Chains A and B, each alone.
Chain A
Amino acid sequence: MRSDRSSLLLKLSAIGGLIFLHWPLAIIVVYAFTTEDKSYQFPPPGLTLRWFAVAWGRSDIWAALSLSFNVALVATGLALVLGTLAAAALSRARFWGRDNVSLLLILPIALPGIITGIALRSAFNLMDIPFSVFTIVLGHATFCIVVVYNNAVARFRRLSPSLVEASFDLGADAFQTFRYVVLPNIGTALLAGGMLAFALSFDEVIVTTFTAGQQTTLPIWMLNELVRPRERPVTNVVAVLVMVVTFFPILAAYWLTREGEHVAGGSR
């Protein structure tokens, strides 16, 4: 039996759970406005917008922000190309070991980041590749590809193979078929996968720690900042920024895939 009204206890514990999850986030936002800059005093003695101005003027923040942004952009771009190609191949073709390849592709996201990080670090060392922006991008691409692949492969499986054949049959070449038939059908999945990949890369710490040289991405910068008690609320201002930058792509990705499922289901 299902009752329409849930018990008071259930309601309270659900609300409690949500507060537990989101209270720390609210605290971070609140401390971005505090007037106290040495210790996190609660409640804040006063509110100010000063730290936003301070953060705006700090060149180290700008450098970290632009590095993170560029890394996320390149890693996402790389993941979009490789993830789509992998998804196209693995959803369509049947060959020996297909399931194993599929598992190997997904593994980087299932493995703890620290394993991926150590593995990449020793691999780069072995190959004498100096740590640089390039190695950070490669590290991020390992898990960005998975996100794109997962999104794309689900959509490819719903795409009837005869659509591609029909396009060839009607005289289109491979490029035209991709441009006019495949891309419109997987576009939203790619956009969603790309946005998730971007968000993941933008706030990644562990793999970055192992694959970066002297470079400081935004999350690394924050980590460093936490142990140095100087203008503490500036860290919170940056944290709020990261939340905003990653929240919207994830929300958009959610909406895009939801709508995509609806459209694809309706066409059958």
Chain B
Amino acid sequence: MTPTSTTAVMFENVSRHFGAVRAVDGVDLKIGQGEFFAMLGPSGSGKTTCLRLIAGFEQPTAGHIEIFGETAEGLAPNRRDVNTVFQDYALFPHMTVLQNVAYGLMVRGVPRLEREKCAREALSLVRLEGMDLRRPAQLSGGQRQRVALARALVNRPKVLLLDEPLGALDLKLREEMQDELRRLHKQLGLTFVFVTHDQGEALSMADRVAVFNKGRIVQIGTPEDIYQRPTTRFVADFVGSSNVLTPDEAPRFGGVSRWTSLRPESILIGAVADAMDVRHTAEVIDQQFQGAMRKTRLKINGLEIYAMAPSSQAFDVGQAVTVGWARSALHAMDGEGNDV
């Protein structure tokens, strides 16, 4: 399951409660060395608290944490070989870019020339050269992000933690930084753990994804697993917004009497549907043009579901169409205890 057999981070039944609030509640987790691991979930699902538990900003209420085989609970953040890229970057406003990046080396007593050399190397690693003497306030959002990355990487951490690393960037920059992070991960071979609420980001970047809900991990797996074989209806709905059918409805759509996920892109409309195992007549409620696709709302058997049609398929509202999907596209799952 993991690229190598060494475990970078291990959680054993870890809980972090704030008074009555169970931010993290009995989490078991194993992150392999060199893995690009995503923690995905809505806000308040416990993913950020898990990251802070690894960084050492939070201590577990119960349970056991190991980082490369060493017990981590009780260990202060400055005693861990783990560095964090903060959501707001947390660059020191009174220091230059170079001083920011060299900070970790400075507090460890590395001589000035050596630490500045390392800092320049780290800055060139994130492709940010010639900005040494600028202040964070003089940088753009993307440049600050790169400084924050360089500042963490210069310490050669065993694990790099990223808290919503791309959340504050606009779409174009976000795509650019996604590629950049993938490239750095490949180049450095470090363990990356990143937290995000954006399922697209998690699916496209990570080797494995843990989906969080209400302080617990509801599913861990590769992006394909998570997307195609969600184990609960929470995962089906949160990751890629599936059509979730109740155990009552599922048989009418060709499934068994269980909670069932039907991905919008598996639903074919028109002549192509004729070759499918399950076919229905549907009424088009409306269509939304989204560039490559048209998000199409349909009424089938009195139930509203939506499909992703190619943008060449434009329908009139109220038009009757044939829809169909493969029986294998229906994915049965566990519906209990995972309210959306």
Contacts and interface: CB of A to CB of B under 8 A. Distances in A.
- Does B bind A? yes
Contacts, number: 73
A169 B55 contact: yes
Contact of B78 (A160, A162, A168): A168
B44 interface: no
Given A163-B92, A180-B103, A181-B92, A168 B137 contact: no
Interface in A176-203: 176, 180-181, 184-185
Residue from B91, B92, B136, B155 whose CB has the most chain A CB atoms within 10 Å: B92
A169 B92 contact: no
B83 A267 contact: no
A172 interface: yes
Nearest to A168: B77
Interface residues of B, number: 28
Interface residues of A, number: 22
B107 A267 contact: no
A180 B108 CA distance: 13
A160 B88 contact: yes
Contacts of B82: 169
Given A170-B151, A173-B78, A267-B136, A165 B104 contact: no
Nearest to B107: A172
A175 B49 CA distance: 26
A266 interface: yes
A171 B103 CA distance: 9
A170 B155 CA distance: 8
B102 to A, nearest CB: 10
Interface in A138-167: 160, 162-163, 165-167
Interface string B96-108: 0000000110111
12 contacts: A162-B88, A162-B90, A165-B77, A166-B90, A167-B107, A169-B82, A169-B84, A172-B104, A172-B107, A176-B107, A185-B93, A185-B94
Interface of A: 160, 162-163, 165-173, 176, 180-181, 184-185, 263-264, 266-268
